[in-house]
Amino acid sequence: MADEVKLLSLLGSPNVCRVEIALKLKGINYESIPQDLVNKSADLLKYNPVHKKVPVLLHNGKPISESLVIIEYIDDVWKGVPVLPQDPYEKAQARFWAKFIDDKCTPAILKAFGMEGEQDATEANGQLQYLENELNVKGKKFFGGDSINLVDISASFLAFWVGAIEEASGIQLVTKDKFPKLTKWCDDFVNCQAVKDSLPPREALVAFFKGRFGN
Amino acid sequence: MGKSSEIKLLGTAASPFVNRVQFVLNLKSIEYEFIEENLFCKSELLLTSNPAYTKVPVLFHENKPPLAESLIIIEYLDEIYPNIHPILPSDPFERAYNRFWANYIDTKFFPLFMEMRRTHSKEGKEAIKKQIIEASQLLEEAFVKFSNGKAYFGGDNVRYLDVVLGCFLGWIKFSEKRNEFKAFDEVRTPKLLEWTKRIWTHEAFKDAIPNTETLVNFYMMLQKYKP
Protein backbone atom coordinates (compact mmCIF):
# COMPACT_ATOMS: atom_id res chain seq x y z
CA MET A 1 0.00 0.00 0.00
CA ALA A 2 1.42 3.41 -0.92
CA ASP A 3 2.01 5.85 1.92
CA GLU A 4 -0.46 8.67 2.14
CA VAL A 5 1.15 11.77 3.60
CA LYS A 6 -0.74 15.00 4.15
CA LEU A 7 0.31 18.19 5.89
CA LEU A 8 -2.14 20.64 7.42
CA SER A 9 -0.22 23.79 6.57
CA LEU A 10 -0.15 27.56 6.49
CA LEU A 11 1.81 29.75 4.07
CA GLY A 12 4.28 31.87 5.97
CA SER A 13 4.42 29.70 9.08
CA PRO A 14 8.03 28.94 10.08
CA ASN A 15 7.04 25.79 11.95
CA VAL A 16 5.14 24.44 8.93
CA CYS A 17 8.14 25.32 6.76
CA ARG A 18 10.41 23.25 9.01
CA VAL A 19 8.33 20.16 8.41
CA GLU A 20 8.18 20.80 4.66
CA ILE A 21 11.97 21.06 4.54
CA ALA A 22 12.30 17.68 6.26
CA LEU A 23 9.74 16.09 3.89
CA LYS A 24 11.39 17.55 0.79
CA LEU A 25 14.88 16.64 1.98
CA LYS A 26 13.83 13.01 2.17
CA GLY A 27 11.93 13.14 -1.11
CA ILE A 28 8.60 12.27 0.53
CA ASN A 29 5.52 12.96 -1.60
CA TYR A 30 2.87 14.75 0.35
CA GLU A 31 -0.24 16.84 -0.09
CA SER A 32 -0.21 20.26 1.54
CA ILE A 33 -3.61 21.34 2.83
CA PRO A 34 -3.52 25.06 3.72
CA GLN A 35 -5.54 25.95 6.80
CA ASP A 36 -7.50 28.99 7.88
CA LEU A 37 -6.53 29.65 11.49
CA VAL A 38 -9.40 32.09 12.00
CA ASN A 39 -12.13 29.71 10.85
CA LYS A 40 -10.56 26.42 11.84
CA SER A 41 -11.47 23.42 9.73
CA ALA A 42 -13.14 20.31 11.07
CA ASP A 43 -9.98 18.40 10.16
CA LEU A 44 -7.71 20.71 12.17
CA LEU A 45 -9.97 20.44 15.22
CA LYS A 46 -10.16 16.67 14.81
CA TYR A 47 -6.47 16.01 14.25
CA ASN A 48 -5.04 18.52 16.73
CA PRO A 49 -7.78 18.98 19.33
CA VAL A 50 -5.33 19.90 22.09
CA HIS A 51 -3.61 22.87 20.42
CA LYS A 52 -5.68 23.44 17.25
CA LYS A 53 -2.50 24.59 15.47
CA VAL A 54 -0.44 23.81 12.41
CA PRO A 55 1.59 21.95 11.34
CA VAL A 56 -0.16 18.59 11.63
CA LEU A 57 1.22 15.65 9.68
CA LEU A 58 -1.20 12.93 8.65
CA HIS A 59 0.52 9.66 7.80
CA ASN A 60 -1.99 7.14 6.50
CA GLY A 61 -4.61 9.01 8.50
CA LYS A 62 -2.66 9.08 11.77
CA PRO A 63 -2.02 12.62 13.08
CA ILE A 64 1.19 13.95 14.57
CA SER A 65 1.49 17.52 15.91
CA GLU A 66 4.30 19.79 17.14
CA SER A 67 6.92 20.54 14.48
CA LEU A 68 9.95 19.03 16.23
CA VAL A 69 7.96 15.91 17.19
CA ILE A 70 6.87 15.62 13.54
CA ILE A 71 10.43 15.95 12.23
CA GLU A 72 11.68 13.23 14.61
CA TYR A 73 8.79 11.03 13.47
CA ILE A 74 9.70 11.63 9.82
CA ASP A 75 13.32 10.74 10.61
CA ASP A 76 12.20 7.56 12.42
CA VAL A 77 10.03 6.35 9.55
CA TRP A 78 11.91 7.45 6.42
CA LYS A 79 15.53 6.45 6.87
CA GLY A 80 17.10 8.14 3.79
CA VAL A 81 18.90 11.49 4.31
CA PRO A 82 18.84 11.42 8.13
CA VAL A 83 18.30 14.76 9.91
CA LEU A 84 19.51 13.43 13.23
CA PRO A 85 22.97 12.00 13.91
CA GLN A 86 23.21 8.28 14.63
CA ASP A 87 25.47 8.59 17.64
CA PRO A 88 23.35 8.96 20.82
CA TYR A 89 25.50 11.77 22.23
CA GLU A 90 25.56 13.74 18.96
CA LYS A 91 21.81 13.17 18.67
CA ALA A 92 21.23 14.54 22.18
CA GLN A 93 23.31 17.62 21.36
CA ALA A 94 21.33 18.24 18.16
CA ARG A 95 18.07 17.96 20.11
CA PHE A 96 19.46 20.35 22.72
CA TRP A 97 20.29 23.04 20.14
CA ALA A 98 16.93 22.64 18.42
CA LYS A 99 15.18 23.11 21.78
CA PHE A 100 17.44 26.05 22.64
CA ILE A 101 16.45 27.75 19.40
CA ASP A 102 12.75 27.39 20.25
CA ASP A 103 12.99 28.08 24.00
CA LYS A 104 15.50 30.90 24.03
CA CYS A 105 16.45 32.25 20.60
CA THR A 106 13.09 32.81 18.96
CA PRO A 107 11.46 34.60 21.92
CA ALA A 108 14.59 36.76 22.33
CA ILE A 109 14.52 37.60 18.61
CA LEU A 110 10.88 38.68 18.82
CA LYS A 111 11.82 40.88 21.76
CA ALA A 112 14.71 42.38 19.77
CA PHE A 113 12.22 43.60 17.17
CA GLY A 114 9.77 44.83 19.77
CA MET A 115 7.29 42.17 18.72
CA GLU A 116 6.95 40.87 22.25
CA GLY A 117 7.13 43.48 24.97
CA GLU A 118 9.51 46.41 24.95
CA GLN A 119 12.15 46.38 22.21
CA ASP A 120 15.44 45.11 23.57
CA ALA A 121 18.09 43.19 21.65
CA THR A 122 20.36 42.37 24.59
CA GLU A 123 19.05 38.86 25.14
CA ALA A 124 18.96 38.06 21.42
CA ASN A 125 22.57 39.15 20.99
CA GLY A 126 23.55 36.80 23.80
CA GLN A 127 21.58 33.82 22.44
CA LEU A 128 22.78 34.37 18.88
CA GLN A 129 26.36 34.41 20.17
CA TYR A 130 25.86 30.81 21.39
CA LEU A 131 24.85 29.80 17.87
CA GLU A 132 27.75 31.78 16.36
CA ASN A 133 30.14 29.97 18.75
CA GLU A 134 28.63 26.60 17.91
CA LEU A 135 29.27 27.21 14.20
CA ASN A 136 32.80 28.43 15.01
CA VAL A 137 33.59 25.34 17.05
CA LYS A 138 32.22 23.04 14.36
CA GLY A 139 34.09 24.94 11.66
CA LYS A 140 31.60 23.64 9.12
CA LYS A 141 29.03 25.09 6.77
CA PHE A 142 26.01 23.96 8.78
CA PHE A 143 25.10 22.98 12.33
CA GLY A 144 24.79 19.49 10.88
CA GLY A 145 28.28 19.63 9.35
CA ASP A 146 28.49 19.43 5.55
CA SER A 147 24.74 19.02 5.23
CA ILE A 148 21.76 20.40 7.12
CA ASN A 149 20.30 18.59 10.09
CA LEU A 150 17.58 19.08 12.71
CA VAL A 151 19.35 22.12 14.20
CA ASP A 152 19.62 23.93 10.87
CA ILE A 153 15.99 23.13 10.10
CA SER A 154 14.87 24.35 13.54
CA ALA A 155 16.60 27.66 12.85
CA SER A 156 14.61 28.35 9.66
CA PHE A 157 12.96 31.34 11.32
CA LEU A 158 16.38 32.82 12.00
CA ALA A 159 17.64 32.08 8.48
CA PHE A 160 14.75 33.59 6.53
CA TRP A 161 12.07 35.29 8.57
CA VAL A 162 14.52 37.46 10.51
CA GLY A 163 15.87 38.97 7.27
CA ALA A 164 12.35 39.85 6.19
CA ILE A 165 11.57 41.39 9.59
CA GLU A 166 14.83 43.37 9.49
CA GLU A 167 13.83 44.82 6.12
CA ALA A 168 10.29 45.57 7.26
CA SER A 169 11.23 47.15 10.57
CA GLY A 170 14.52 48.84 9.74
CA ILE A 171 16.06 47.15 12.81
CA GLN A 172 19.27 45.21 12.10
CA LEU A 173 19.92 42.17 14.28
CA VAL A 174 22.05 39.54 12.50
CA THR A 175 24.82 41.72 11.08
CA LYS A 176 27.95 40.46 9.35
CA ASP A 177 30.33 42.21 11.74
CA LYS A 178 28.65 40.84 14.87
CA PHE A 179 27.79 37.39 13.55
CA PRO A 180 29.96 36.55 10.51
CA LYS A 181 29.47 32.78 10.72
CA LEU A 182 25.72 33.02 11.32
CA THR A 183 25.28 35.47 8.44
CA LYS A 184 27.05 33.09 6.06
CA TRP A 185 25.05 30.16 7.47
CA CYS A 186 21.76 32.00 6.70
CA ASP A 187 22.80 32.41 3.04
CA ASP A 188 23.98 28.83 2.69
CA PHE A 189 20.89 27.43 4.40
CA VAL A 190 18.32 29.27 2.29
CA ASN A 191 20.17 28.15 -0.84
CA CYS A 192 19.73 24.44 -0.07
CA GLN A 193 17.27 22.99 -2.57
CA ALA A 194 14.87 21.49 -0.02
CA VAL A 195 14.82 24.80 1.85
CA LYS A 196 14.40 26.91 -1.30
CA ASP A 197 11.45 24.76 -2.30
CA SER A 198 9.78 25.18 1.10
CA LEU A 199 10.23 28.88 1.86
CA PRO A 200 7.38 31.34 1.32
CA PRO A 201 7.91 34.22 -1.19
CA ARG A 202 10.12 36.85 0.46
CA GLU A 203 8.23 39.88 -0.87
CA ALA A 204 4.98 38.64 0.60
CA LEU A 205 6.67 38.08 3.95
CA VAL A 206 8.26 41.55 3.96
CA ALA A 207 4.90 43.11 3.01
CA PHE A 208 3.22 41.19 5.85
CA PHE A 209 5.74 42.44 8.40
CA LYS A 210 5.69 45.97 7.01
CA GLY A 211 2.00 45.94 7.83
CA ARG A 212 2.81 44.74 11.33
CA PHE A 213 5.28 47.58 11.85
CA GLY A 214 2.95 50.11 10.27
CA ASN A 215 5.45 50.99 7.52
CA MET B 1 25.04 -2.22 36.36
CA GLY B 2 26.90 0.98 35.34
CA LYS B 3 29.85 1.99 37.49
CA SER B 4 29.17 4.98 39.71
CA SER B 5 32.02 7.00 38.15
CA GLU B 6 30.51 6.67 34.71
CA ILE B 7 27.47 8.86 35.36
CA LYS B 8 27.24 12.03 37.39
CA LEU B 9 24.05 13.99 37.79
CA LEU B 10 24.16 17.64 38.78
CA GLY B 11 20.87 18.56 40.36
CA THR B 12 18.67 19.64 43.22
CA ALA B 13 16.56 17.18 45.17
CA ALA B 14 13.57 19.53 44.95
CA SER B 15 13.65 19.83 41.15
CA PRO B 16 11.06 17.60 39.44
CA PHE B 17 13.13 17.76 36.25
CA VAL B 18 16.06 16.28 38.14
CA ASN B 19 13.77 13.70 39.79
CA ARG B 20 12.67 12.67 36.33
CA VAL B 21 16.20 11.69 35.37
CA GLN B 22 16.65 9.96 38.73
CA PHE B 23 13.56 7.83 38.05
CA VAL B 24 15.04 6.65 34.77
CA LEU B 25 18.44 5.93 36.35
CA ASN B 26 16.63 3.94 39.07
CA LEU B 27 14.45 2.05 36.58
CA LYS B 28 17.54 1.09 34.58
CA SER B 29 19.47 0.22 37.78
CA ILE B 30 22.24 2.63 36.81
CA GLU B 31 24.50 3.78 39.64
CA TYR B 32 25.37 7.41 39.57
CA GLU B 33 26.94 10.15 41.62
CA PHE B 34 24.58 12.93 42.62
CA ILE B 35 26.10 16.39 42.86
CA GLU B 36 23.82 18.74 44.80
CA GLU B 37 23.47 22.19 43.28
CA ASN B 38 22.29 25.36 45.00
CA LEU B 39 19.99 27.06 42.51
CA PHE B 40 19.99 30.28 44.53
CA CYS B 41 23.78 30.58 44.41
CA LYS B 42 24.77 28.81 41.22
CA SER B 43 28.07 26.97 41.15
CA GLU B 44 30.87 27.42 38.64
CA LEU B 45 30.16 23.86 37.53
CA LEU B 46 26.57 24.67 36.60
CA LEU B 47 27.44 27.96 34.94
CA THR B 48 30.10 26.32 32.78
CA SER B 49 28.34 23.04 32.08
CA ASN B 50 25.00 24.57 31.06
CA PRO B 51 25.69 28.21 30.19
CA ALA B 52 22.74 28.40 27.79
CA TYR B 53 20.11 27.71 30.45
CA THR B 54 22.05 27.59 33.80
CA LYS B 55 19.52 24.97 34.93
CA VAL B 56 19.53 21.47 36.34
CA PRO B 57 19.61 18.58 35.59
CA VAL B 58 22.99 18.29 33.87
CA LEU B 59 24.30 14.83 33.06
CA PHE B 60 27.98 13.94 32.83
CA HIS B 61 28.69 10.62 31.13
CA GLU B 62 32.27 9.35 31.01
CA ASN B 63 34.45 12.09 29.56
CA LYS B 64 31.84 13.51 27.23
CA PRO B 65 30.81 17.17 27.47
CA PRO B 66 27.74 17.69 29.68
CA LEU B 67 24.16 17.17 28.54
CA ALA B 68 21.22 19.27 29.69
CA GLU B 69 17.40 19.29 29.41
CA SER B 70 15.65 16.45 31.24
CA LEU B 71 13.70 14.97 28.29
CA ILE B 72 16.82 14.99 26.13
CA ILE B 73 18.82 13.32 28.93
CA ILE B 74 16.13 10.65 29.32
CA GLU B 75 16.18 9.80 25.61
CA TYR B 76 19.98 9.68 25.72
CA LEU B 77 19.96 7.25 28.66
CA ASP B 78 17.36 5.15 26.87
CA GLU B 79 19.60 4.98 23.82
CA ILE B 80 22.79 4.04 25.63
CA TYR B 81 21.05 1.48 27.87
CA PRO B 82 18.35 0.22 25.51
CA ASN B 83 18.01 -3.28 26.91
CA ILE B 84 17.34 -2.41 30.56
CA HIS B 85 13.80 -1.23 31.17
CA PRO B 86 13.17 0.62 27.89
CA ILE B 87 11.51 3.97 28.50
CA LEU B 88 10.22 4.98 25.06
CA PRO B 89 8.38 2.55 22.77
CA SER B 90 10.05 1.43 19.56
CA ASP B 91 7.14 2.17 17.20
CA PRO B 92 7.65 5.62 15.56
CA PHE B 93 4.03 6.70 15.91
CA GLU B 94 3.89 5.65 19.57
CA ARG B 95 7.13 7.54 20.18
CA ALA B 96 5.70 10.67 18.54
CA TYR B 97 2.49 10.36 20.55
CA ASN B 98 4.49 10.05 23.79
CA ARG B 99 6.71 13.02 22.91
CA PHE B 100 3.65 15.13 22.06
CA TRP B 101 2.18 14.58 25.51
CA ALA B 102 5.52 15.19 27.22
CA ASN B 103 5.62 18.54 25.45
CA TYR B 104 2.06 19.25 26.65
CA ILE B 105 2.92 18.38 30.24
CA ASP B 106 6.03 20.56 30.21
CA THR B 107 4.69 23.57 28.31
CA LYS B 108 0.99 23.64 29.29
CA PHE B 109 0.31 21.58 32.41
CA PHE B 110 3.10 22.07 34.93
CA PRO B 111 3.70 25.78 34.14
CA LEU B 112 0.19 26.38 35.53
CA PHE B 113 1.45 25.31 38.97
CA MET B 114 4.44 27.62 38.63
CA GLU B 115 2.06 30.43 37.68
CA MET B 116 -0.09 29.61 40.70
CA ARG B 117 2.89 30.21 42.99
CA ARG B 118 3.42 33.67 41.52
CA THR B 119 -0.26 34.63 41.63
CA HIS B 120 -1.49 36.23 44.80
CA SER B 121 -5.03 37.44 44.09
CA LYS B 122 -7.97 35.14 44.86
CA GLU B 123 -9.47 35.70 41.39
CA GLY B 124 -6.13 34.98 39.76
CA LYS B 125 -5.72 31.74 41.66
CA GLU B 126 -9.28 30.63 40.88
CA ALA B 127 -8.68 31.22 37.16
CA ILE B 128 -5.53 29.08 37.26
CA LYS B 129 -7.27 26.31 39.23
CA LYS B 130 -9.88 26.19 36.47
CA GLN B 131 -7.15 25.82 33.84
CA ILE B 132 -5.43 23.09 35.87
CA ILE B 133 -8.69 21.17 36.14
CA GLU B 134 -9.28 21.44 32.38
CA ALA B 135 -5.73 20.29 31.67
CA SER B 136 -6.10 17.36 34.10
CA GLN B 137 -9.18 16.32 32.16
CA LEU B 138 -7.11 16.12 28.98
CA LEU B 139 -4.47 14.11 30.82
CA GLU B 140 -7.14 11.72 32.12
CA GLU B 141 -8.29 11.08 28.53
CA ALA B 142 -4.69 10.62 27.45
CA PHE B 143 -4.09 8.19 30.31
CA VAL B 144 -7.10 6.10 29.30
CA LYS B 145 -5.78 5.89 25.71
CA PHE B 146 -2.21 5.11 26.68
CA SER B 147 -2.87 2.66 29.53
CA ASN B 148 -5.51 0.69 27.65
CA GLY B 149 -6.99 -0.56 30.91
CA LYS B 150 -3.62 -1.25 32.54
CA ALA B 151 -1.87 0.32 35.51
CA TYR B 152 0.44 2.87 33.88
CA PHE B 153 0.77 5.17 30.88
CA GLY B 154 3.26 2.56 29.70
CA GLY B 155 0.76 -0.28 30.20
CA ASP B 156 1.94 -2.99 32.57
CA ASN B 157 5.15 -1.14 33.35
CA VAL B 158 6.18 2.42 34.03
CA ARG B 159 7.49 4.04 30.90
CA TYR B 160 8.11 7.50 29.47
CA LEU B 161 4.96 9.40 30.42
CA ASP B 162 4.83 7.81 33.87
CA VAL B 163 8.25 9.37 34.43
CA VAL B 164 7.44 12.65 32.67
CA LEU B 165 4.27 13.31 34.69
CA GLY B 166 5.16 11.32 37.81
CA CYS B 167 8.04 13.62 38.72
CA PHE B 168 5.61 16.47 39.39
CA LEU B 169 3.47 14.65 41.95
CA GLY B 170 5.32 16.05 44.97
CA TRP B 171 4.85 19.64 43.80
CA ILE B 172 1.27 19.00 42.68
CA LYS B 173 0.37 17.66 46.13
CA PHE B 174 2.14 20.64 47.72
CA SER B 175 0.18 23.09 45.55
CA GLU B 176 -3.11 21.27 46.18
CA LYS B 177 -2.65 21.57 49.96
CA ARG B 178 -1.48 25.16 49.83
CA ASN B 179 -4.22 26.36 47.52
CA GLU B 180 -7.01 24.11 48.81
CA PHE B 181 -8.02 22.37 45.62
CA LYS B 182 -7.61 19.04 43.89
CA ALA B 183 -5.86 18.75 40.53
CA PHE B 184 -6.82 15.06 40.36
CA ASP B 185 -9.96 13.69 42.00
CA GLU B 186 -12.23 10.63 42.08
CA VAL B 187 -14.97 12.20 39.99
CA ARG B 188 -13.16 14.01 37.17
CA THR B 189 -9.92 12.03 36.89
CA PRO B 190 -10.49 8.68 38.62
CA LYS B 191 -7.97 6.72 36.56
CA LEU B 192 -5.21 9.31 37.01
CA LEU B 193 -5.89 9.45 40.73
CA GLU B 194 -5.39 5.69 40.99
CA TRP B 195 -2.24 6.03 38.91
CA THR B 196 -0.81 8.68 41.27
CA LYS B 197 -1.18 6.25 44.19
CA ARG B 198 0.76 3.61 42.27
CA ILE B 199 3.55 6.05 41.44
CA TRP B 200 3.87 7.22 45.06
CA THR B 201 4.55 3.63 46.12
CA HIS B 202 6.61 2.48 43.13
CA GLU B 203 10.12 1.22 43.99
CA ALA B 204 11.92 3.47 41.53
CA PHE B 205 9.93 6.59 42.36
CA LYS B 206 9.21 6.66 46.04
CA ASP B 207 12.69 7.53 47.20
CA ALA B 208 13.24 10.10 44.48
CA ILE B 209 10.08 12.17 44.99
CA PRO B 210 11.16 14.79 47.54
CA ASN B 211 9.44 14.91 50.93
CA THR B 212 7.30 17.82 52.05
CA GLU B 213 10.06 19.39 54.16
CA THR B 214 12.38 19.58 51.14
CA LEU B 215 9.62 21.16 49.08
CA VAL B 216 8.64 23.64 51.76
CA ASN B 217 12.24 24.79 52.16
CA PHE B 218 12.67 25.13 48.41
CA TYR B 219 9.35 26.96 48.12
CA MET B 220 10.43 29.49 50.75
CA MET B 221 13.64 30.13 48.80
CA LEU B 222 11.66 30.58 45.58
CA GLN B 223 9.33 33.09 47.22
CA LYS B 224 12.34 34.97 48.51
CA TYR B 225 14.52 35.00 45.38
CA LYS B 226 12.04 34.56 42.54
CA PRO B 227 8.72 36.07 43.66
Q: Give A215's pLDDT tier (boundaries 50, 70, 90).
A: low
CB B133 within 8 A of CB B172: no
CA of A206, closest CA in chain B: separation in Å? 30
Q: By the CB < 8 Å criterion, does B96 face chain A?
A: yes
Residues 6+ apart with CB under 8 A from B111: none
Inter-chain touch B76–A88, beta carbons under 8 Å: yes
Q: Give Cα B27 distance to the centre of its chain.
A: 14
Express each pLDDT in A95-124 by its tens digit: 999 999 999 999 999 999 999 989 999 999
Residue of A5, A66, A86 for testing the chain B interface, max B β-carbons within 10 Å: A66
Between A23-37, A134-148, B67-81, B137-151, the lowest mean confidence (pLDDT) is in A134-148
Between A138-142, B172-176, B187-191, B198-202, the lowest mean confidence (pLDDT) is in A138-142
**How many degrees, rounded to 5, is the angle at CA B32 between CA B27 and CA B36?**
110
B-chain residue closest to A129, CA distance: B52
Q: Give Cα A200 distance to the centre of its chain.
A: 12
Q: What is the pLDDT of residue B139?
A: 98
Mean pLDDT, range B200-212, rounded to an integer: 87
Mean pLDDT, range B24-48, rounded to an integer: 94
Q: Which of B51, B72, B97 sits opposite A96 (nearest CB)?
A: B72
Q: What is the pLDDT of residue A1?
A: 58
Q: By the CB < 8 Å criterion, does B64 face chain A?
A: yes
Mean pLDDT, range B144-163, rounded to an integer: 97
Q: What is the pLDDT of residue A197?
A: 96
Give the separation between CA B73 and CA B66, rounded to whole angstroms: 10
Mean pLDDT, range A195-205, rounded to an integer: 96
CB B155 within 8 A of CB B148: yes
DSSP 3-state of B59:
strand
Q: Taking 50 as the threshold, does the pLDDT of residue B71 lie above it?
A: yes
Q: Taking 70 as the threshold, does the pLDDT of residue B3 lie above it?
A: no
Q: What is the pLDDT of residue B212?
A: 84
Inter-chain touch A91–B79, beta carbons under 8 Å: yes
A-chain residue closest to B109, CA distance: A50
The predicted complex's ipTM stands at 0.95
Q: Taking 90 as the threshold, does the pLDDT of residue A35 lie above it?
A: yes
Q: What is the rounded average pLDDT for all residues in chain A? A: 96
Q: Taking 90 as the threshold, does the pLDDT of residue A138 lie above it?
A: no
Q: Taking 60 as the threshold, does the pLDDT of residue B49 lie above it?
A: yes
- What are the helix and strand counts (H, E) for chain B? 11, 4
Q: Please list every residue in chain A whose beta carbon sits closer than 8 Å to the beta carbon of residue B63.
A: none
Mean pLDDT, range A171-188, rounded to an integer: 96
**How many degrees, rounded to 5, is the angle at CA A24 between CA A7 and CA A40?**
15
Q: Which of A66, A93, A130 sits opposite B100 (nearest CB)?
A: A66
Q: Phi then psi for A67, rounded to 5 degrees? A: -55, -45
Mean pLDDT, range B196-206, rounded to an integer: 92
Q: Taking 50 as the threshold, does the pLDDT of residue B4 lie above it?
A: no
CA of A203, closest CA in chain B: separation in Å? 34
Give the separation between CA A62 and CA A67, rounded to whole angstroms: 15
Q: By the CB < 8 Å criterion, does A61 face chain B?
A: no
Residues 6+ apart with CB under 8 A from A150: A68, A71, A72, A75, A83, A84, A94, A95, A98, A144
Q: What is the torsion angle, in degrees rounded to the nearest 10, for the CA atoms of residue A169, residue A175, residue A179 and residue A180?
A: 140
DSSP chain A: ----EEEEE-TT-HHHHHHHHHHHHTT---EEEE--SSS--HHHHHH-TTT--S-EEEETTEEEESHHHHHHHHHHH--SS-SS-SSHHHHHHHHHHHHHIIIIIHHHHHHHTTSSSS---HHHHHHHHHHHHHHHHHTSSBTTBSS--HHHHHTHIIIIIHHHHHHHH----S-TTT-HHHHHHHHHHHTSHHHHTTSPPHHHHHHHHHHHHT-
Mean pLDDT, range B158-179, rounded to an integer: 96
Give the separation between CA B70 and CA B218, rounded to whole angstroms: 19
Inter-chain touch B72–A99, beta carbons under 8 Å: yes
Q: Give B130's pLDDT tier (boundaries 50, 70, 90).
A: very high
Q: Which of B52, B68, B138 sits opposite A50 (nearest CB)?
A: B138
Q: By the CB < 8 Å criterion, does B99 face chain A?
A: yes
Q: Which of A72, A92, A95 sits opposite B96 (nearest CB)?
A: A72
Q: What is the pLDDT of residue A118?
A: 92
Q: Which of A69, A77, A88 sits opposite B80 (nearest CB)?
A: A88
Q: By the CB < 8 Å criterion, does A79 face chain B?
A: no
